[in-house]
A and B are shown apart, each in its own frame.
Chain A
């Protein structure tokens, strides 16, 4: 079987909700039925057939040829299979995904990987604000899985994260890991102001000292750390990083003591 390919014919005239186009929801559907799915979010009410040219037939291997910042909610809630976007994605790409693999070869908009619970989301370019974070009103952000951003991430990456791993390789905006409940956030390339702001538990692992920390973080020494060695080796083995991030004895700051105070910010000395 050949990958089920959606080729973008022209720039969409409106924002699109692509959440129906996941491996689970397309399984067993005929091409003409797929073409009739409404995805437009304005009065245009575009259907799949108006926006994309469809080829291939394997719903477990979906490819979007050509991207746009108007392609929202890509692969939302997917549980298995693979979705690849050759281009940019809009808001909420991979939101609430539970399994499978989503690859975005361009940039992703805000709330990429929001509340994901499993699977692997890899963004080759940059990600917008609120990476992995909850939408307004939701209590927890990312809850499992692996989220990799090869470029930069915006502000509030890993906000309210609870479980899983987020790795941002070319720096993040302000307040990375804010309000973290648990989980692991890796940022190489520098963070903005006050990473870990109001974090309860969890680990923020950096490749350099943060330029600022909330004053309710406290210095906690730099003993030799087997955890750092295990994480470094894991990141390299997974192809996320090429060289160790933390080294043998990273500096630890504990916080945020304005809340529970059991989180940590680690970086090489």
Chain B
């Protein structure tokens, strides 16, 4: 099938290629929305890509007081990693350093999965013997004394082995400003999809990469085929009208969540139209041989 044009935007006949990952989720609550977000943003900082951060994490959805276990505003945070032990380590260090420390916070399981990861059952040792174990309605909590009262933390949270990392699409525009506007629209739309996160800064990656490089030890390096300044000197994927490419990378709890997020993001870009935003949409893959999950762009059209 050749490339198609939808609402004046060219959609390449290609596909995104994604990988199986391990994921967990927690619910962070705080006295108000500001501090729930603050704890969540802090613990998901420096978590854009497993290449250098150990995990990929972001806020999945914000939760109103009616949807949290303690009736306070909260955020559901998702964390993904390639291996269970790395995910466990990242979960504990991030919650221990960023949520336990955040004023008024509490932390609950955000996923029922095939296995459990330690949460409060490890962080309780901060209590130095003054921690209190409580079982309420079949759920196990630890109460750890801190300087503004108590940090309440559920003992464990769930782990899923069916998560997907690396769903993506490229937003290609005549200028970087237009690429950014279109990408922001996509990120806003994906924010409403439960179970999917966009872990890069503000949900957007500008340094999409290829695997490996000419220097020894580089796991990933510049994707020159999509770099507009190299258009004339390498075998470029960019036509003369493209001056900026931004990548939206999507991680999801399930295959379906990633597909739903890609659909929502691509729909938002297409609805914005080529005058204000992108003129072309593409996606990144490795020829379809490495990743377990394939998302063909023609199946993602609105």
- Which A residues lie at the B interface, using CB under 8 A? 163, 165, 182, 184, 201, 203, 223-227, 229-231, 233-234, 237-238, 262, 264
Whether B270 is near chain A, meaning CB under 8 Å from some CB there, is no
A108 to B133, CA, bound (A): 31
Q: Which residues of B contact A264 (CB under 8 A)?
A: 132
Q: Which of B136-144, B205-213, B290-298 contacts A (4 or more CB under 8 A)?
A: B136-144
Q: Are A233 and B150 in contact (CB under 8 A)?
A: no
Minimal Cβ-Cβ distance residue in B for A146:
B137
In the complex, 15 of the A-B residue pairs with CB atoms within 8 angstroms, ordered by the A residue number, are: A165-B136, A184-B134, A201-B132, A224-B149, A225-B150, A226-B29, A226-B70, A227-B134, A227-B141, A229-B72, A230-B69, A230-B70, A230-B141, A238-B137, A262-B132
In the bound complex, CA of A226 to CA of B103 (Å): 12
The distance in angstroms between the C-alpha atoms of A229 and B136, with both chains bound, is: 12
A229 neighbours in B (Cβ, 8 Å) = 70-72
Closest 9 CB pairs of A and B: A223-B149, A226-B152, A226-B106, A229-B70, A234-B137, A226-B70, A234-B136, A230-B70, A227-B152
Cβ–Cβ < 8 Å partners of B235 in chain A: none
Cα-based distance from A33 to B148 in the complex (angstroms): 64
Secondary structure at the B interface, as helix, strand, loop or mixed, is strand
Q: Assuming the A-B contacts A184-B134, A229-B72, A233-B69, are A223 and B150 also in contact, with contact meaning beta carbons closer than 8 angstroms in the complex?
A: yes
Min CB distance B144 to A, Å, is 11
Closest to A232 in B: B71
Count of A-B contacts judged by CB separation below 8 Å: 47
B71: chain A residues at CB < 8 Å are 229, 233
Question: Judging by beta carbons under 8 Å apart, are B149 and A231 in contact?
Answer: no
Interface of A is mostly: mixed
A203–B137 Cα distance when bound, in Å, is 15
Whether a CB of chain A sits under 8 angstroms from the CB of B135 is yes
- Residues in B with CB closer than 8 Å to A262 are 130, 132
B137-168: which have CB < 8 Å to A? 137, 141, 143, 148-150, 152
Q: Which residues of A contact B106 (CB under 8 A)?
A: 226
Q: Compute how far the CA of A264 lies from the CA of B131 in the bound complex, rounded to whole angstroms.
A: 13
B43 → chain A, closest Cβ, in Å? 18
Whether a CB of chain A sits under 8 angstroms from the CB of B45 is no
